[in-house]
A and B are shown apart, each in its own frame.
Chain A
Amino acid sequence: MRNKMTSTTTTAIHDECLSDLGRWHVQTEPAPYRPVEEYFHCKVKDIDTQMCIFLNGWYVHDGQPLTTTPEGIIVGSLAEARKRFPEKVLPYLNEPARDRDDEFAALNRERFNDGLFIYLPDNVTAAKPIQLISLTDAEEELMINNRNLIVLGKNAELSFVQCDDSIQFKKSFINNVTLVRLAEDARLSYYKMENKNAESLLFNQVDVEQKGHSQFFSHTMTFNAGYLRNRINVYHTEPFASATFYGLYLVDRKQHVDHEIFIDHQVPDCDSHLLYKGIVDDEAQANFLGHVVVRPDAQRTVAAQTNRNITLTDNAHVTSRPFLEIYADDVKCNHGSTVGQLDDEAMFYLRTRGICERNARMLLMFAFANEIANYIKIDSLKERYMEMIRKRLNGELTICDQCVLHCPHLL
């Protein structure tokens, strides 16, 4: 079902993606393996992740589509996991569609070939973050439907970093769905970094189901994309689940970003906290829709959401709709949103100390954006993100630049 709050430009872009699916090229099988070193080298010192690379929608591996550790962690291709561990995969893949699922979710369900599968057994903490790098590189205009599945057992803990990057300038339509299932006391930190080319149409939907006392921490940074839709749907199904969301979008030129966050508090004593910030330049457009539902049983819910935007030109366009739907009476919920320009008083103050207008703007924008980077809990990642923010605001960061952690140079 299409959301009635969707803007007309958003609708036009969606139609462009779906109206003629035949126009998109689909790579039906993985490309022959080439060693990762041939097209990546690490850009960040001191970060140690387990890297999982997807190229044009397929898991890149050297004969080992799934790796398992002695503690029982399984990481790799969902297509392979479906065959080898059907009991761990099929219950989730066979779940019925949800009310929130629209035609993009349906398309993904119908068409996906592969995706990343991560499984952590009870009481296991992943030694290092798992990093998903999705790359597109093709002569044709690609459509990719990846379906990722992340299952954390009771009291399991994982940091997950998802990077969406383009290698060249071809148009592509990427429609990803990630299913996250957190058992009791499980803790997932989910970092997402989006830096696609200006022709890309990127849809990322993340569906999270949380059992009691589980914690979901979501951190999303959007630097570049032609069109981008980030949808996060979180379902709290047992008490004392907690979800936290931070987001930053820096968009310019004619980019268009839609963030839609839906939080369904179904049971008592859960909480959710959200802070999204955006700087919108040139003729770019950003839409934020935060929707919190507090069901009749969900007493003592605590929910807060804030969306702050800075527009730098008269043609930059922001729509911000934080939205609460509350059916319980004993709750603490608040929401707020702002759209404005840079603070004139602060600009003046900085300039009276000899700082030129351009740099004063830069300092203020960096400060605004940096708040979000500060919530990153992996230090090396935080430093790299801050550097990217700085470069991005300086106009130095383009899609030709590296992805956040690794530098893809296809030879």
Chain B
Amino acid sequence: MLKIENLHVSIKGKEILKGVNLEINEGEVHAIMGPNGTGKSTLASVIAGKEIFDVTEGRILYNGKNLLEMSIEDRAREGIFIGFQYPVEIPGVSIANFMRTALDEIRRYRGEEPLTELEFRKMMKEKAKVVELTEKLSTRSVNEGFSGGEKKRNEIFQMAMLEPKLAILDETDSGLDIDALRIVANGVTKLKSPTNSTVVITHYQRLLDYIVPDVVHVLFDGKIVKSGSKELALELEKRGYEWIKQEYESANAQ
């Protein structure tokens, strides 16, 4: 589904990703872990299409297409969803209007008829339940005045509405208390199907108790330096990242 090959990315001349290789197949759940400042969020942003980053080398294939040549909106229409670490507040744009516009455009792109008003409202209602949000949500402005937990729930709600093939959740667990974490994680789990894939970016293992990954990767110094099963996450939780760093440095020294 997604194939990242030797991806090098820099911002203002500073190289952040230094040759990332990653392959995600249909139905898989991957976790990308690693200490702060190693390029995890950059990777998500580049996949989303954020324009301030320069891809200097490598490529990203999404279902065989060159992702980096696609517009931001076409990536979404092709089924990619990014759950942001810091969702933007947009005063005056209601969630209902936002989702209506997004769904209409995505459906048009796919050659599908737009939903009727009734179908849309029914869908909003159903999907809000996934993350235990109330219906009152729909008239509120996007993320305006939302608590940290509400913002993250709203991200997963949008994911539920847009039904992506590939969801990349960037630090969806940060800033959440244990109840909010459970709601968000259960939401993601409910949305899982054999045909869609999920990438969870986190630096804590606790989220992975709910969203169980098939593969765990460690991103360090702009590269994936280690990949393993879900037990790797537990080991990281126990031992921290220091040993990864040492392993990486000694490997480099050789």
Q: Which residues of A contact B162 (CB under 8 A)?
A: 353-354
List residues of A (271-286) whose CB comes within 8 Å of B's CBs.
none
CB distance from B113 to the nearest CB of A (A): 16
B21 to nearest A CB, angstroms? 24
User: Are the C-beta atoms of A364 and B102 separated by less than 8 Å?
Assistant: no
What string of 1s and 0s marks CB contacts (under 8 Å) between A346-363 and chain B? 101111111111010001
Where chain A touches its partner, the secondary structure class is helix
B36 interfacial by beta-carbon distance below 8 Å: no
Q: Are B82 and A352 in contact (CB under 8 A)?
A: yes
A359 with B48: CB separation less than 8 A:
no
| Contact A350–B90 (Cβ < 8 Å) | yes
Q: A371: CB under 8 A from chain B?
A: yes
Q: Is A13 an interface residue (CB 8 A)?
A: no
- The reply to whether the CB of B213 lies closer than 8 angstroms to some CB of chain A is no
Chain B residues within 8 Å of A349, by CB: 84, 87-88, 90
Main secondary structure of the interface of B (DSSP, over half): helix
Query: Is A29's CB within 8 Å of the partner chain B?
Result: no
List the B residue with the shortest CB-CB distance to A369.
B92
Name the residue of chain A whose CB is nearest to the CB of B94: A367
Q: How large is the interface on A (under 10, 10 to 19, 20 to 34, 35 or more residues)?
A: 20 to 34
A355/B88 in contact, CB under 8 A:
no
Q: How far is the CB of B62 from chain A (nearest CB, A)?
A: 14
A345: Cβ under 8 A from any B Cβ:
yes
Which residues of B are found within 8 Å of A357, using beta-carbon distances?
Answer: 73
A357→B81 CA distance, assembly (Å): 17
Q: Beyond A359-B101, A363-B101, is A352–B49 a contact (Cβ under 8 Å)?
A: yes
- In Å, the complex CA distance between A363 and B84 comes to 20
Interface bits B91-104 vs A (CB < 8 Å: 1, else 0): 11100011101110
**Complexed CA–CA distance, A355 and B50 (Å):** 15
Report yes or no: A364 in contact with B93, Cβ–Cβ below 8 A.
Answer: yes
Query: When the two chains form their complex, are residues A351 and B72 in contact, meaning their CB atoms are under 8 A apart?
Result: yes
* A354 touching B102, Cβ below 8 Å: yes
Contact between B90 and A354, CB atoms less than 8 A apart: no
Tell which of B76, B91, B141 touches A353, judged by Cβ atoms closer than 8 Å. Answer: B76
A346 touching B90, Cβ below 8 Å: yes
Task: Determine whether B146 belongs to the interface, using a CB cutoff of 8 Å to chain A.
Answer: no
B98 touches A356 (CB 8 A): no
Report whether B105 and A359 are in contact in the complex, using a CB–CB cutoff of 8 Å. Answer: yes
User: Looking across the interface, which residue of chain A has its beta carbon closest to that of B158?
Assistant: A353
Given A353-B162, A354-B109; A348-B93 close (CB under 8 Å): no
Q: A349-B87, A352-B76 are in contact. Are A370 and B105 (CB under 8 A)?
A: no
Q: Which residues of B contact A353 (CB under 8 A)?
A: 76, 98-99, 102, 158, 162
**Mask for A367-392, Cβ within 8 A of B = 1, else 0?**
11011000000000000000000000
Q: How far is the CA of A288 from the CA of B76 in the complex (A)?
A: 40
Bound CA span A351–B81, Å:
11
Say yes or no: is A366 at the interface (Cβ < 8 Å to chain B). yes
Which residues of A are found within 8 Å of B82, using beta-carbon distances?
352
Interface check B203, CB cutoff 8 A: no
B76 with A366: CB separation less than 8 A? no
- Are B88 and A354 neighbours in the complex by a CB distance under 8 Å? no
Q: Contacts A363-B97, A363-B98, A363-B101 hold; do A352 and B92 have CB atoms under 8 A apart?
A: no
Cβ–Cβ < 8 Å partners of B98 in chain A? 350, 353, 355, 363
Asked whether any CB of chain A lies closer than 8 Å to the CB of B106, the reply is yes
Q: Tell me which residues across on chain B come within 8 A of A355, comparing CB atoms.
A: 73, 98, 101-102, 105
User: When chains A and B are docked, how far (Å) is the Cα of A357 from the Cα of B92?
Assistant: 18
A-B interface, 5 closest residue pairs, ranked by CB to CB distance from nearest: A367-B92, A354-B76, A351-B72, A353-B102, A354-B106
Additional A-B contact list (13), CB under 8 Å, known A368-B92, A371-B92: A343-B88, A348-B88, A351-B49, A351-B76, A352-B75, A352-B76, A353-B98, A354-B77, A354-B102, A356-B73, A363-B97, A364-B93, A367-B90
Q: Can you name 17 A-B pairs with beta carbons within 8 Å?
A: A348-B72, A349-B84, A349-B90, A350-B93, A351-B76, A352-B48, A353-B99, A354-B73, A354-B76, A355-B102, A357-B73, A359-B101, A364-B90, A366-B92, A366-B93, A367-B92, A371-B91
Chain B interface residues toward A at CB < 8 A: 48-50, 71-73, 75-77, 81-82, 84, 87-88, 90-93, 97-99, 101-103, 105-106, 109, 141, 158, 162
Residue ranges of A at the interface with B (Cβ–Cβ < 8 Å): 343, 345-346, 348-357, 359, 363-364, 366-368, 370-371
